[in-house]
Chain A
């Protein structure tokens, strides 16, 4: 890295020993990263490695607890001086910040219009300057067109142009290709190439490793809040990047290496099939996936965001209707798109985002547990038996060791781990044949994570665990990996973590 240093020249951007802590979590642990002008850097790392925190510090959204951020050797502007930050660095996020109701020109000059002394916008001037900017950055769109009419890719390039207009020559691209079609990815890469030739440097974050090699000179890998590798792309191939992401001497929490894995299924497996997914497609996300889960089996469904795993899971639990294919539970075909009927056929579900659709924050722990099984707690005429509901809640609270002062405590008052246990107990309350778990230990502390793993191991139901976390997938008997809407690989028995990560990244096919 030091070979890049020329005497008297400072790196374009440098984080010098930055540390950031959120509560008990150490998000960044003394990270030093230098980005030199003309050497675009790819930042790789698994979820939670600290990439987003790095972006937040480098764009001045947050201040490091220790260490500092430098631009061309000078200290970063004060965190309140947003205008100054914008002249140094810009980040194009996955979520667009282009306002679709305004024209291309207005978006380009947002809150910075060429105006008269009295604040009136000089439209002629705006168009003239705007066209010059668009020409300069090679963007072929009409200045008066509504931004909403642009393609996703064009909007992205408009966003980059806006950042460049503010004077920034360092652009962070956060998963820019996630929402693009392949033709648009090509156009974006061509555009990035042109901009690099005219002196713009990029920090590129992507889960698709092939892309890194196409547009970056250097690659930096983060793991557990540390920078674990940084080199020129020629020196670090894809396998080495994956190895760095996973960590060589990496021990999975909650799984000592001595625990023998349960016998994994063979072709002669006699256990009855609980879930049979036959060639299921969901518009635009899943194309022809088939899988089987047998009684007592724990199967992982792995894949990154956008791989189609979440949509396939939602089709199985009845939240969305597949366009083609068949899903059967214990041999009986499932009515499509009906959560209640899926539940009645024995499918229980722990959604991946508990705050979005896991629990009702206005209700008590007891009521949340009982919600899907109210019919079973019937006393007469559909009235719920309070006693039986309390009994169910107390059983589940005891079985899952949920920490509550009383079953009637509001669920919003619990910690994340205990909320997740409540959501889990709700799924278990229906005594399902199949338990579909979406990222079941997301955002919970280590102790709760352990407890949740114990609960999953102890359940008699067949389990389909949908996740991109190796830690979670480790409790499965076998793991199916999805990429681009298809199941691309199956891992049975002991597997190498880096192979699975590589499969999720779409490598090695």
Chain B
């Protein structure tokens, strides 16, 4: 290839964001190692990664929605309501279930379908009816939160059958299955977004939906599909969390969406659409996971950890503004 030098530097610059994040991760790891001897042990690192795996799947879901230029607040409620509904179908009435005693294998499929269905409804409301994404998905979030509590009168469901928990507590080749699954999703997702016809079309839609439409890309259908896929991913995230906790709480997933947006913003996924990579988003997740782990090891109270998250989002916004010279607004 006869690419001139200018082109090559440009190509390198394109990975600049991810490279900067990688450097930050290394700095955070060095800091953690210096502060706590327990930090850089295989057990702790695997622990950090496993705890991040549910979040990472949810971030992946939000990232593809952000890339097409939309957003979804209701994903975190799917994390709660979808496994809750599945567990309710499986369990006996004495354990606050429905008493239907559905096969756990079927229930797992139902969990996914709940996610797909909620995503489809969101997509319908936003794409077809043209409703505002913020208020629509906020309303959906509030509605589903209520449903999750209503199903079991706010009680926690436990004594769940093993197949239902498998994704969250199994180990493959010495590492948690959730880690493998989330790693595989990021790999496949990155390949599709970077090199597949559909992935490139999603970036085009996020960059200029009208131009994408003029180029013959079925914009509405793609956006709708993205909402459905994201709903399914949120269900998966919920199943992983359920498996790790061995129970479903009515508030499962609560406040996760803030961390999701934090990871996306830190990972340089543009809220304006059309920009950002999954590698960046994953870096955002890992960075947040390490910082949270260090703070936990330092016996810092949880509310200070969430305050730190807020501060990190603000700092990364300021950082983006200063380095790119462009304001980071959603208009």
Contact = CB atoms under 8 A, between A and B. Distances in A.
Interface of A: 317-319, 339-340, 342-344, 349, 351, 356-363, 367, 370-372, 374-375, 377-378, 381-384, 386, 390, 405-409, 426
Nearest to B214: A357
A384 B7 contact: no
26 contacts: A318-B216, A339-B213, A340-B216, A340-B217, A343-B215, A357-B210, A357-B214, A360-B211, A360-B212, A362-B207, A362-B275, A367-B200, A370-B200, A371-B211, A372-B216, A378-B197, A382-B196, A382-B197, A384-B196, A386-B195, A390-B1, A405-B6, A406-B3, A406-B6, A406-B7, A409-B10
Contact of A361 (B196, B207, B215, B218): B207
Interface string B213-254: 111111000000000000000000000000000000000000
A435 to B, nearest CB: 14
B164 interface: no
Given A339-B216, A409-B7, A374 B200 contact: yes
A361 B216 CA distance: 17
User: Which 9 A/B pairs are nearest by Cβ-Cβ distance?
Assistant: A406-B7, A362-B207, A357-B210, A360-B207, A340-B216, A362-B274, A374-B197, A372-B215, A343-B216
Contacts of A340: 216-218
A383 B204 contact: no
B11 interface: yes
Nearest to B205: A360
B206 interface: yes
Nearest to A389: B200
Given A382-B196, A383-B197, A408 B203 contact: no
Contacts of B214: 317, 319, 339, 349, 351, 357-358
Contacts of B11: 408
A406 B10 CA distance: 9
B208 interface: yes
Nearest to B218: A340
B4 A363 contact: no
B198 interface: yes
A339 B206 CA distance: 18
B270 to A, nearest CB: 8
Given A358-B214, A406-B6, A409-B10, A382 B198 contact: yes
B217 to A, nearest CB: 7
Contact of A359 (B197, B198, B211): B211
Contacts of A362: 203, 206-208, 274-275
Given A340-B218, A360-B207, 19 more contacts: A318-B216, A319-B214, A339-B213, A343-B216, A351-B211, A356-B211, A357-B208, A357-B210, A360-B211, A362-B207, A362-B275, A363-B203, A363-B207, A367-B200, A374-B197, A374-B201, A405-B4, A405-B10, A409-B7
Contacts of A319: 213-214
- Where chain B touches its partner, the secondary structure class is helix
A374 B1 CA distance: 21
Given A343-B216, A382-B197, A360 B7 contact: no
Interface of B: 1, 3-4, 6-7, 10-11, 191, 195-198, 200-201, 203-204, 206-208, 210-218, 274-275
- Residue in B1, B191, B204 whose Cβ sees the most chain A Cβ within 10 Å: B204
Contacts of B216: 318, 339-340, 342-344, 372
B227 to A, nearest CB: 20
A426 B218 CA distance: 17
Contact of A357 (B10, B206, B211): B211
B275 to A, nearest CB: 6
Contact of B215 (A390, A405, A409, A426): A426
B49 to A, nearest CB: 29
Chain A CB within 10 Å, residue with most, of B197, B200, B201, B217: B197
A360 B203 contact: yes
Contacts of B275: 362
Contacts of B4: 405-406
A409 B203 CA distance: 16
Nearest to A354: B211
Nearest to B204: A360
Contacts of B1: 390
A357 B191 CA distance: 27
Residue from B7, B203, B211, B218 whose CB has the most chain A CB atoms within 10 Å: B211
Q: Which residue, B6, B200, B213, has most C-beta atoms of chain A within 10 A?
A: B200
Contact of B210 (A356, A374, A377, A382): A356
B208 A371 contact: no
Contact of A384 (B6, B200, B210, B218): B200
Contacts of B211: 351, 356-360, 371
Nearest to A405: B6
Nearest to A387: B1
Nearest to A386: B195
Nearest to A342: B216
Central interface residue in A356, A371, A377, A408, by most chain B CB within 10 Å = A371
Contacts of B212: 360, 371
Contacts of A370: 200
A371 B3 contact: no
A359 B208 contact: yes
A375 B216 CA distance: 11
A384 B203 CA distance: 14
A367 B199 CA distance: 12
A480 B222 CA distance: 38
Contact of B208 (A317, A360, A409): A360
B219 to A, nearest CB: 10
Given A383-B196, A406-B7, A357 B204 contact: no
Contacts of B196: 381-384
A351 B210 CA distance: 10
Contacts of A381: 196
A266 to B, nearest CB: 35
A361 B208 CA distance: 7
Contacts of B10: 405-406, 408-409
A109 B321 CA distance: 40
Contacts of B207: 360-363
A358 B213 CA distance: 10
A362 B272 CA distance: 11
Contacts of B210: 356-357
A378 B274 CA distance: 22
A426 B212 CA distance: 12
A317 B213 CA distance: 11
Best-surrounded residue of B196, B208, B218 (most CB of chain A within 10 A): B208
B177 to A, nearest CB: 26
A343 B275 CA distance: 27
A358 B204 CA distance: 11
A405 B197 contact: no
Given A362-B207, A362-B275, A405-B4, A357 B201 contact: no
Contacts of A371: 200-201, 204, 211-212, 215, 217
